[in-house]
Amino acid sequence: MTLSLTRALNLIGAWALALLWILPLAYAVWTAFHPAAYEARFDLFAPLTLENFAKAWEAAPFARYFLNTFVLVTAILIGQFILGTLAAYAFARFEFPGRNILFALVLVQLLVMPDILIVENYRTIRALGLIDTIGAIAIPYIASGFGIFLLRQTFMSVPKELVEAAQIEGMSTLGILLKVYVPLAVPTYLAYGLVSVSHHWNNFLWPLIVTNSVETRPVTVGLSIFASIDSGVEWSVINAATLMTSGPLLIAFLLFQRQFVQSFMRAGIK
């Protein structure tokens, strides 16, 4: 009796929260497919239109922006994984002079987000001649204190016996990393990958400052064209643009959510 009541309450709570959470997306869909006059009128018989998409498409080359974002996010992720893995491995496995100081420096980067150091970083990028490249957006983030820290935590929990066994088998230092440590850290890679992708997918200010052209700008900068101040917000167009750019990710999630969650799980159970 009480169990089924709890269950019903849970169901109601879950759905109420879900409806609340999906509201912005629902509103985006509503406005994107209806004429601007229905932005604030929720009339079931409102005429449908694709004009907002056409307008948004015309206003900015979103296909290109999307590609840029994709390249950017992938490049950052790969860079972070490689550099983070190497550094975390050094911290987790070796004793060496300066270890504590260097690790403290890594911890510093947990807090000193490059987001704050824009002016200084712009100077550096300029000196490197990288202004207006996707690389310029990526490189301040490519070594991530957070990633190193997280991977080190995971690597530290790798059983010593495994490592010793591998050593006896004559595996090289890098071989042990790749064959022993990395496979055990897959859930951490997934979790960290998600944080990283989500952050850079959303990042706005830094890309705006270091890029100048369509060929390098990510989606967020493209979207900001509609957040104009003089003429008021055009919800229908900005939402159409949002859907166009976020749609692929959403659909991918819908299709792969089971695999996605399961891979977290499988990796974790090992």
244 touches other proteins (CB under 8 A): no
Residues in 30-49 at the binding interface with other proteins, rule: CB under 8 A: 36-37, 39-40, 42
130 touches other proteins (CB under 8 A): no
Q: Which stretch binds other proteins (CB under 8 A): 45-53, 70-78, 108-116, 161-169?
A: 108-116
Q: Which stretch binds other proteins (CB under 8 A): 43-51, 70-78, 161-169, 218-226?
A: 218-226
- Residues contacting other proteins: total by CB under 8 A: 127
215 touches other proteins (CB under 8 A): no
Applying CB under 8 A, which of residues 60, 72, 73, 75 lies at the interface with other proteins?
A: 60
8 A C-beta contact, residue 59 and residue 226: yes
Beta carbon nearer to other proteins, 74 or 202 = 202
Applying CB under 8 A, which of residues 33, 65, 66, 89 lies at the interface with other proteins?
A: 89
Q: Which two tokens stand for residue 215?
A: 């060929």
Minimum distance, C-beta of residue 99 to other proteins, in the bound complex (Å): 8
- Encoded one letter per residue, x for contact with other proteins by CB under 8 A and - for no contact, window 62-81 reads --------------------
Minimum distance, C-beta of residue 250 to other proteins, in the bound complex (Å): 5
Minimum distance, C-beta of residue 187 to other proteins, in the bound complex (Å): 7
Angstrom distance (rounded) from CA 142 to CA 121: 13
Q: Which stretch binds other proteins (CB under 8 A): 43-51, 70-78, 162-170, 259-267?
A: 259-267
Beta carbon nearer to other proteins, 71 or 190 = 190
**DSSP per-residue codes, the chain:** -HHHHHHHHHHHHHHHHHHHHHHHHHHHHHHHHS-GGGTT---TTPPP--HHHHHHHHHS-HHHHHHHHHHHHHHHHHHHHHHHHHHHHHHHH---TTHHHHHHHHHHHHHS-GGG-HHHHHHHHHHTT-TTSHHHHHGGGSS-HHHHHHHHHHHHTS-HHHHHHHHHTT--HHHHIIIIIHHHTHHHHHHHHHHHHHHHHH--HHHHHH--STTT--HHHHHGGGS-SSS---HHHHHHHHHHHHHHHHHHHHHHHHHHHHHHHHHHH-
Residues in 137-196 at the binding interface with other proteins, rule: CB under 8 A: 139-143, 145-146, 148, 150, 153-154, 156-157, 173, 187, 190-191, 194-195
